[in-house]
Amino acid sequence: MTALLEVRNLKTYFFTLRGSVRAVDGVSFTLEKGEALGIVGESGSGKSTLGFSLLRLVPPPGRIVEGSIILDGEDILKLPEERVRKEIRWKRISMIFQSALNALNPVKRIGDQIADAIMAHEDVDKKEALERAAELLKSVGIDPRRVNNYPHEFSGGMKQRAVIAMALALQPDVVIADEPTTALDVVVQAQILNLFKKLRKEKGLSIILITHDLSLVAEIADKVAIMYAGKIVELGPSEKIYTEPAHPYTKGLMASIPRIGGSKELAWIPGSPPDLRNPPPGCRFHPRCPFAMEICRREEPPYFDVGDGHISACWLHKEGISKS
């Protein structure tokens, strides 16, 4: 069986006057139907750029320079923009943007905004589009009668639900959610996560959740990719990532999660992520890594298979290398 979405060696660079920023630098992963993938990284790790790349929406001076994004056997990077706009974007892959609370047009009714997205892609009249908008609102837990409300009449959580409804308007196969709950309170966050779980179960929706919060990802993802400085450093099934993290960076992230009832002694990862215009040679994590060895400074580690579809890019996994 081929995967619904396969990303191979994707590279997205930003060409600035002060050099090119390699925001996404050789990322590969697959996503099955109904699967939830979590992409976790610090700010500046390239995770949001990755999300935009999947929709071919990288803002200039950024450009996808290499790789392929294969959706149902077709490389969408090879398609003309016109076809992507009509057939792929929003219809097959849609996105819930990070600043969802500002993503709605304040002077337009919620229903009209959702209807616009429907009418842009399908040959339906306004009345039918509005009916579908009301249905969509209902499916995300908003009273369909509020289809004529303006965004300011909605609370933060409701706006977020409306943005999710909009992302679902054309029944896409994949929804990319970029920090969908950062601006929301925990109670509302839990409600939104429940909504994602429901959509997955009922509609077989595939979800890519992009966030810096490992706890949030654990609530939904089957598979987790840890990004650092434009690369995936570890990828594997959630159970493995959370119980047996392999990469020192992932271990550091895990140790830094505050847990209620957990240890009061917190760990953290010293230093900050590198400047992607000029990433360090060898392994990009070596300046912050407590286990850095000579080879890490010189050579970039390949992916090592650590079992059960779990891979990690770290020299520590190479046999014969002393772990001291």
Partner 1 sequence: MGIKIEELSSRDDIILAGIGVKMYFSLARSISEILARKSRVVKAVDGVDILIEKGKVTCLVGESGCGKTTLGKLIVGLYRPTEGSIVYRPSDELSKVLLDAGVPYIESKGGLLFDMAKARGRALKMLRREIQIVFQDPYGSLNPRMTIKDILEEPLIIHGYKDEKERLEMVIKALEDVKLTPPEEFLYRYPFQLSGGQRQRVNIARAIILGPRLVVADEPVSMLDVSIRAEILKLMLDLKERRNLTYVFITHDLAVASIICDYINVMYLGRIVEYGPTDEILLKPKHPYTQALIAAVPSPDPKGRWRIKEVPIIGEIPSALSIPPGCRFHPRCPYAMEKCKINDPPYFEVGYKHLSACWLNEGEKVAKI
Under the binding rule (CB under 8 A), the answer on residue 244 touching partner 1 is no
Q: Does 155 bind partner 1 (CB under 8 A)?
A: yes
Shortest Å, Cβ 5 to partner 1: 20
Pairwise CA distance, residues 89 & 121, whole Å: 10
Is residue 92 within 8 A of residue 174, CB to CB? The reply is yes
Closer to partner 1 by CB, 72 or 239: give it: 239
Query: Which residues, 6+ apart, have CB-to-CB distance to 94 below 8 Å?
Result: 55, 167, 168, 169, 170, 172, 174, 175, 176
- Separation between Cα atoms, residue 304 and residue 320, nearest integer Å: 14
- Binding status of residue 291 toward partner 1 by CB under 8 A: no
Candidate ranges 27-35, 100-108, 122-130, 197-205; the one touching partner 1 (CB under 8 A): 197-205
Is residue 142 within 8 A of residue 161, CB to CB? The reply is: yes
Minimum CB–partner distance for residue 84 and partner 1 (Å): 32
Q: Are residues 172 and 92 in contact, defined by beta-carbon separation less than 8 angstroms?
A: yes
The residue (of 64 and 253) whose beta carbon lies closer to partner 1 is 253
Residue 221 touching partner 1 (CB under 8 A): yes
For position 42 contacting partner 1 by CB under 8 A, the verdict is yes
Closest CB 245 distance from partner 1, rounded Å: 11
| CB distance 177 to 161 below 8 Å | no
Q: Which residue in the set 197, 293, 295, 306 belongs to the binding site for partner 1 (CB under 8 A)? A: 197
Q: In whole angstroms, what is the distance from residue 138 CA to residue 121 CA?
A: 21
Span from 8-16, 56-64, 77-85, 208-216 in contact with partner 1 (CB under 8 A) = 208-216
Question: How far, in whole angstroms, is CA 275 from its chain's centroid?
Answer: 21
Residue closer to partner 1 (CB basis): 88 or 160: 160
Helix or strand or coil: residue 36? strand
CA neighbor of 291 nearest in space, from 250, 263, 238: 250
**How far is residue 9's CA from residue 27's CA, in Å, rounded to a whole number?**
5
C-beta separation of 208 from 51 below 8 A: yes
Q: Work out which of 32, 112, 135, 219 binds partner 1, going by CB under 8 A.
A: 219
CB of 63 to partner 1, least distance (A): 25
Q: Is 279 in the site for partner 1 (CB under 8 A)?
A: no
Q: Indicate whether 261 belongs to the interface with partner 1 (CB under 8 A).
A: yes
Of 202 and 319, which CB lies nearer to partner 1 in the complex structure?
A: 202
Does 138 bind partner 1 (CB under 8 A)? Our answer is no
CB of 199 to partner 1, least distance (A): 12
Nearer to partner 1, 63 or 138 (CB): 138
Q: Which of 25, 98, 17, 10 is nearest to 61 (CA)?
A: 17
* Interface residues toward partner 1, by CB under 8 A: 36, 42-43, 155-158, 185-191, 193-194, 197-198, 201, 212-216, 218-222, 238-239, 241-242, 252-254, 256-262, 264, 266-270, 272
